[in-house]
Amino acid sequence: MAYLAPTPETDTVLEAMRTMLGDRLHLAVTLGYGPRFLHSTGQLHKGGPNTGLFLQITQSAQPELPIPGEAYDFGTLISAQALGDYQALSEHGRRVMRLSLREDSEIGLKALRTALAEALG
């Protein structure tokens, strides 16, 4: 679950990690960008069988795009949705880990991909 801006570079790194995890651990691995996946797969994650392992990747610095008529911006909204999704998974007894990348998510994702490759051999 990636609460990151979808870019071609981000897609490439996330897809590489998804493939690596699936191939080396022999598990089905899905990938989705939040918050748009919340309605469909979110229901499966929280209400389906408790067999999933979830990694939520967020970015600490979100864009400060104002929402007309509101005291908060889209960055705050996205952060709140990610936190709410994490809490809901936890409350349903799901095994979930949250990783928050610093401002440059591209560098953080590449470091994560490298660490996964080293850990998985």
Chain segment 26-45, per-residue pLDDT in tens:
999 999 888 776 667 777 77
pLDDT band at 104 (very low <50, low <70, confident <90, very high): confident
pLDDT of residue 89: 93
pLDDT of residue 27: 92
The whole model's pTM is what?
Answer: 0.86
pLDDT of residue 98: 96
- The span from the CA of 67 to the CA of 77, in Å, is 9
Q: What are the residue boundaries of the structural domains of the chain, listed by start?
A: 2-60+79-120
pLDDT of residue 8 exceeding 80: yes
Is the bond preceding residue 35 a cis peptide, omega within 30 degrees?
yes
- The span from the CA of 116 to the CA of 121, in Å, is 8
pLDDT band at 46 (very low <50, low <70, confident <90, very high): confident
pLDDT of residue 38: 65
pLDDT of residue 121: 87
Backbone angles phi, psi at 62, to 5 degrees: -105, 155
